[in-house]
Amino acid sequence: MSGAASSRDAPFLRGAAWLTSGGAARVLALLNADGEEARVVGGAVRNALLGLPVGEIDIATTAHPEEVMRRAKAAHIKAVPTGVEHGTVTLVIEGEPFEVTTLREDIETFGRKAKVAFGRDWACDATRRDFTINGLSVSPDGVVHDAVGGLADIAAKRVRFIGEPSQRIAEDYLRILRFFRIHAAYGEGAPDRDGYLACIAGREGLAGLSAERIRMEMFKLVVAKGAAPALIAMDDAGLLLRLTAGVVFHGAFAGMIAVECELGLAPDPVRRLGALAVAVTEDAKRISQRWRLSNVEAKRLDSMGHRWWRLMEMDEATAQRRLYRLGVDRYRDRIMLASARAGRNAVVSHWRDLATLPDRWTAPVFPLKASDFIARGIAQGPALGHVLALAEDAWLAMRFPQDAASLKTIADDTVARFARDHRL
């Protein structure tokens, strides 16, 4: 299907608030004048047609970047030359950014460094995009323009490459991951066969992708609604092993999705990654290095892999001690991983009780201070830290007492033990 589709084909776009008012409408009005044209393109159009929330709004225009900036300046709109050499200027209206890109056409194609020239052909610009459902545009009057068959694919919830899949992939091998990610988010059924086979044929190209780009795509993929079958398809294609360099656990991944739903929690990429690829801490370290996770993400993943299998046997007293040591987030991550891996073997009420413990009980603050032990003759330094740790262990074993008598007993006994062990 090609050509322009009228608003009768997509009636809900006529009068859409994001198209008729606000910052996007101002940008479109600014650039649809004096011989130039502008349309909203890409994800915003796709999501609107699918009845999904519209996030970032990208705009394409026939106007060159210099003209976009001139018009923005005259209208007192902030313009940031975020990628002028590629035709992109970001206009900021009331704090909201709108990426405006001049229509382009390929002059030479060699991967991500393809040589392009600015153009005025909307159909040519659309054919440069990755997938048909991302190749649609909508003008300010609500008319949807389709030169690549995107409307038919949106109706079928089918993700297809524009043109020859192998060529699209060779232009940027990240499109292999995007194929599965976009399918997981917007597609239904099995992935498009031609695209799937092209991803298999081009999988060696994954080795050239940066860790940061892999992380970005995979974090989006694992939280998509169709993540579980998409990951199985990737594994069958020999792609996941190249990304994780280790065994993956599809059952645990599906189990994590079920656990999140049971607890009413939003999908979390680190938690889901832990279920998919982490059995022990060595797995967490390997993934963190290969994907260059942030320090926070790496520590969280490492915590999930640390003896998670012991948690399902805990009674509530032990669970309270674990919660105190780990904190709410890491405690819940580890419990959820244990229950996801246990699957049908998990006692439903037991793991739910463990997972919801932070909702019912708040860990108290350790009440003894360094001054309590200095007053008992322990000098400042390593010895003081050691005594505090021993006292905290004893306090946990006694289930967090707060009364003065119990705390005095803990402090006295700890100092006596330390003195005996070190012959003070």
Res. 19: pLDDT tops 70? yes
Is residue 380 assigned to a domain?
yes
The pair of three-digit structure tokens given for residue 112, joined into one six-digit string: 């991500």
Residues 38 and 127 in one domain: yes
- Rounded CA gap, 125 and 107, in Å? 12
Is residue 386 assigned to a domain?
yes
User: Look-up: residue for tokens 């739910």?
Assistant: 352
pLDDT of residue 10: 44
pLDDT of residue 116: 64
Residues 180 and 71 in one domain: no
| pLDDT level of residue 115 (50, 70, 90 thresholds) | low
Number of domain units in the chain: 4
Task: Indicate the residue among 191, 216, 243 that finishes a domain.
Answer: 243
Residues 297 and 417 in one domain: no
CB neighbour burial string for 271-285, b if at least 16 within 10 angstroms, e if fewer: bbbbbbbbbebebbe
- Rounded CA gap, 290 and 243, in Å? 8
Average of per-residue pLDDT across 279-293: 96
pLDDT of residue 311: 83
Residues 11 and 52 in one domain: yes
Task: Indicate the residue among 331, 360, 389 that finishes a domain.
Answer: 360
Q: What percent of the chain stands above pLDDT 90?
A: 81
Which residue range is the domain that position 356 belongs to? 259-360
Res. 113: pLDDT tops 60? no
Residues 117 and 7 in one domain: yes
Those residues whose C-beta lies under 8 Å from the C-beta of residue 243, and which sit 6 or more positions away, are 206, 214, 218, 290
Closest listed residue to residue 61, CA positions, set 89, 21, 31: 31
pLDDT, tens digit, 9 for 90 and up, residues 314-370: 899 999 999 999 999 999 999 999 999 887 666 567 888 899 999 999 999 999 999
Those residues whose C-beta lies under 8 Å from the C-beta of residue 93, and which sit 6 or more positions away, are 23, 26, 27, 77, 78
Residues 221 and 87 in one domain: no
Q: What rounded mean pLDDT belongs to the chain?
A: 91
Would you put residue 111 in left (φ > 0), alpha (ψ -120 to 50) or beta? left
Residues 339 and 385 in one domain: no
Residues 51 and 13 in one domain: yes
| pLDDT level of residue 129 (50, 70, 90 thresholds) | very high
pLDDT of residue 351: 85
Cβ(276)–Cβ(231) below 8 Å: yes
pLDDT of residue 67: 96
pLDDT, tens digit, 9 for 90 and up, residues 71-106: 999 999 999 999 888 899 999 999 999 999 999 886
Q: Is the pTM for the entire model greater than 0.85?
A: yes
Task: Indicate the residue among 217, 243, 269 that finishes a domain.
Answer: 243
Res. 136: pLDDT tops 70? yes
- Rounded CA gap, 24 and 29, in Å? 9
Residues 15 and 141 in one domain: yes
Residues 41 and 147 in one domain: yes
- Rounded CA gap, 250 and 276, in Å? 6
The dihedral through the CA atoms of 46, 51, 57, 59 has a sign that is positive
Residues 406 and 281 in one domain: no
| pLDDT level of residue 6 (50, 70, 90 thresholds) | very low
Res. 160: pLDDT tops 80? yes
Res. 422: pLDDT tops 90? no
* CATH code where residue 146 lies: 3.30.460.10
Residues 141 and 274 in one domain: no
pLDDT of residue 17: 84
